[in-house]
Structure 1
């Protein structure tokens, strides 16, 4: 398994409390995320972006500390996070990417980080991605039967069809569904595990699963 962490530009107060201890898995950083990692004592394997949010002295610090810098023009169609995911999957052949800093702050950034996983170039890899913050863990799933394990400290589980979905079935959560079709995005929030794992299935579409706590 080739696993990477990715830090993007969301506010630090939404990071998990133990982010600074996540040093065993190599890091990719998008833009200012690289500088924030250095301040935590973590040197990213790769920093990528236009770095337009950095002062000249900050950029020089990155160039001195990070051996692999990937530069993009500021006026571009892709976000720095998208560039980082392309790098992770196409060049580094990542089997799992955990994204930190993708939530909190501006709502347009949150929705952009979520909806980008529905792009045709990322959709085949979407099940390899997890968005993680202080309260939430979000993953996307493609059609099939899936069993998820309750993560430590997470009390709630939510199911959100992001596209039209057919045959959504929740087998063993507190609130169940049986073979339901939905023509548009919808959220089923505040469900709960009844055991340490939960199984669900659907035939078409994309479903987000969010584990969270208050």
Structure 2
């Protein structure tokens, strides 16, 4: 969301669209038309013309608009399967639908919003917390360059929210300042319980933050 805002500010005369997908769907599941970007800034659009999209619960039952569920898709763009991995294929293509592992919600107009990765969701004290929401708040802080939010084991709450933060060059912040900033911009139970400052976040060859590595290094 912050990236979209920066791009539109840098290139005010440009038209900005967005496509959501993954390798297993030939990188195309939904598309957001440039004419809708300003009105639906946080959305990834509607299903591509040849694609069907549903949001389902853990039992693959459809859920109503406004609720969060897993994004599943089918269409001619979806893969046949993983090479020599029938078990992973069966798990991902259950019932003929590609299970993306992404959590999302659909508004009343049918626009899809990606909430987070299903495996990254934090459950603390019985509450579901989506790290992406906290990360977007952190990225909006003028002193913060990058941030990743993960769940770490907690004997009382099951998991606790932990923020790993990279500051911009020459900037300084304390753990308390980051937590107070989050508390002012989020529901109190979503604020990080702890904050760690690092120089770099681990990334894959594709540039994605490796949250599994962050979790493994801290547990």
Judge same fold: TM > 0.5, yes or no.
Answer: no
Q: Select the structure with the greater relative contact order (CA < 8 A; seq sep ≥ 6).
A: 1
TM-score by length of 1: 0.28
TM-score, L = length of structure 2 = 0.28
